[in-house]
Amino acid sequence: MPRRPRYVIAVHGGAGDHPEEHDRAVRRALRSALAIGRDTNVTVLDVVQDAVMALEDDPVLNAGYGSNLTTDGRVECDAALMRGADGAFGSVGAVSGVKNPIRLAGAILDASRRPRVLGRVPPLTLVGEGARQFASQYGVELVDPETLVAPHARELWEKWSVRLAEVEAGATLTEDEKMGGMQDTVGAVAWVEGEGMAAAVSSGGILLKLPGRLGEAAVYGAGCWATPNLACSVSGTGEDIVRTGLARTIVETIVARGTDATHEVLHELLAETFWESSLASGELEPSAGALVMVRESDNSNEADENDSALRLWCAFTTPSMAVGYTTSTASKHKAVILRRPAELSASNCAETGEGDRPKARVYITTLSIET
């Protein structure tokens, strides 16, 4: 019997402000996703896709069932995935009534690699009703859109819809009143021996978003990116992430400067590039988180996988980010809610800003993974 390939899977439940009373449920969701991805282990795309599907099915997270609702009370989802070996990519945006948006993104990716008929160019991204029609044609499970509305998502929508109407009618908005912590996106990165890396991302988007709005999870280069040796999945405020093409920018900058510079790259791109771009657009509390898997080696992309090490990085500007990981040799699936410490240390945090401008507070952590 041939030896089963080695692999590493990492998932995230979004960057945001996770209430401590939800920690157990979020960690359980992450471990369930790792178990499903680990059991699949067919191809690196299967691994990230199935892991994200499990996250989409859990109502505690903002993706699939459990997604934030639009202003008119509907679930509209974005999702994408990318294979590093050949750059294959597929994404879906603002789609309703699809049980697992990441599955539809995978079907779009598959269709993009088939021979072209009559010179027709296959899509990278499909949105709205066209995406739903494609799902029906390619056997992706469709459901009644109402079945994707989780009870807690309906409660939040009702609460904040009323408050939005009051404020728009002239009611006073209190200084600390905001919908923070409800914008997070889920995702996964993975490495499979002999195949390289892949990345995926899925999101229900911002609470009370306008119907038809696209977030970073639907946009090429924004929500996820992968090369043979690097994979990145991003979470946060979609519009600001799209402006900086954050996932692609992170990966390509690390490639250009070398994996030894990963900490500095994450610091510069989140605490400076992303932060400044977000402030310029009017965002006072820029929100982003990145889960990055790096294959470290002294050689090129052709390096022997046995002579390289994998390292997982997590960086975020928000109060917290939920992450988990497992490997082919691990006895347990690791899941944790990372929280930015009140006192920032020079070793793992970056705090920048002058005068009255909001300071960037970026938490960065890493671990080396045995494969």
Residue numbers of the domain that contains 70: 7-369
Residue pair 114/151 in contact by the 8 Å Cβ criterion: no
Tell me how many domains the chain contains: 1
Say what the pLDDT of residue 370 is. Answer: 73
For the segment 7-16, the average pLDDT, to the nearest whole number, is 94
d(CA 323, CA 187): 9
For the segment 237-249, the average pLDDT, to the nearest whole number, is 95
Question: Is residue 345's pLDDT more than 60?
Answer: no
- More confident call, 350 vs 324: 324
Among the residue ranges 113-127, 129-143, 212-226, 264-278, the one predicted with the least confidence is: 113-127
The 10 Å Cβ neighbour count of residue 114 is: 8
pLDDT band at 170 (very low <50, low <70, confident <90, very high): confident
Residues whose CB is less than 8 angstroms from the CB of residue 87 and which lie 6 or more positions away in sequence, other chains included: none
The CATH number given to whatever domain includes residue 158 is 3.60.20.30
Look at residue 2 and tell me if it is in a domain.
no
pLDDT band at 36 (very low <50, low <70, confident <90, very high): confident
d(CA 157, CA 279): 27
Residues with a catalytic annotation lie at 185
Concatenated DSSP letters for 68-123? PP-TTS---EEEEEEETTT--EEEEEEE-SBS-HHHHHHHHHHHHTSPPSTTPPPP
Question: Is residue 302's pLDDT more than 90?
Answer: no
pTM of the model: 0.92
Query: What is the chain's length?
Result: 371
Say what the pLDDT of residue 171 is. Answer: 85
Look at residue 27 and tell me if it is in a domain.
yes
Say what the pLDDT of residue 299 is. Answer: 46
- More confident call, 237 vs 92: 92
Average pLDDT, the chain: 89
Assigned token pair, 32: 């369930």
- More confident call, 103 vs 20: 103
Question: Is residue 28's pLDDT more than 70?
Answer: yes
Question: Is residue 9's pLDDT more than 80?
Answer: yes
Look at residue 161 and tell me if it is in a domain.
yes
Look at residue 1 and tell me if it is in a domain.
no
